[in-house]
Amino acid sequence: MTHPIPRKTFQTSEAASQAVAQEIATLIRGKPKPVLGLATGGTPLKLYAELIRLHREEGLSFAHVTTFNLDEYCGLDREHPQSYWNFMWRHLFDHIDIDPANVHLPSGTVAEQEINNHCAAYEAAIMNAGGIDYQVLGIGRTGHIGFNEPGSAIDSKTRHVLLDPITREDAAKDFGGIEQVPTGAITMGCGTILSARRIALLAFGAAKAAVVDAATTGPVTDQLPASFLQQHPATTFFVDQELADAS
């Protein structure tokens, strides 16, 4: 079934991030074994800063929390400055009381012949943890969620994918040139994401307005994987006024 996706607009990206952090804090305080799906990129940085503040100043404990990240670049080991493993520890995990055993990201260095097993094990680990209670998403210019680029199937699972040239272009500044950007990644699938009980997609700034409009009100199409979220019963888009003004 297709649902209109509710959009909550906040004056600033800080305020939007605080609202998402409050939802996460409520979940964490109310459930013995909450499971979070986490995202990387510029968009969730203020959310992670707020979760760290809640931990330090308001006693929010992550000791009983399990996390699964959306994706990882192929070819980058954990220590690589652009790996998502590195990103997550730098921007969140190093600053909260999470048990490292409860942190999960796909591996960027698993041997090629092991990738399928690795992806199946990632799906199984999510299931064994009880499924994702709350999935945080960003959205790329291509309409990707995770690294599910146009053409991804609605029921796709964790798998190896090739990155869209636009996505590689957007990552070029972080890598010091497009030729340094990996060509592949391992990502949760659209189906994996849609299995989450609640989904919060964050998008800020005028440049994201067109893709957010298309995802929320356009046709549901594999040419814009974020539009699949119209078929999820509990997704909200959290946007800032700058995006709203441009949409």
Footprint on this chain of ligand PGA (rule: CB under 6 A): 41-43, 138-140
Query: In the complex, which residue's CB is closest to ligand PGA?
Result: 41
- What is the β-pairing status of strands 71-73 and 103-104? unpaired
Structure tokens at 26: 């409520």
Q: Which is nearer to ligand PGA, 42 or 81 (CB)?
A: 42
**Contact criterion met (CB below 8 Å) for 160 and 115:** yes
Q: Which is nearer to ligand PGA, 102 or 152 (CB)?
A: 152
Q: Which is nearer to ligand PGA, 43 or 192 (CB)?
A: 43
Q: Which is nearer to ligand PGA, 60 or 73 (CB)?
A: 73
Strand partners, 145: 148
Q: Which is nearer to ligand PGA, 41 or 191 (CB)?
A: 41
**Contact criterion met (CB below 8 Å) for 64 and 36:** no
Cα–Cα dist 227/60, whole Å: 33
Q: Which is nearer to ligand PGA, 67 or 102 (CB)?
A: 67
Helix (H) or strand (E) holding 234: none
String of DSSP letters for 35-76: EEEE--SSTTHHHHHHHHHHHHHH----TT-EEEESEEETT-
Neighbours of 94 (CB within 10 A): 10
Query: What's the closest the beta carbon of residue 193 comes to ligand PGA, in angstroms?
Result: 12
- What is the β-pairing status of strands 159-162 and 184-187? antiparallel
Structure tokens at 42: 């510029």
Query: What's the closest the beta carbon of residue 38 comes to ligand PGA, in angstroms?
Result: 12
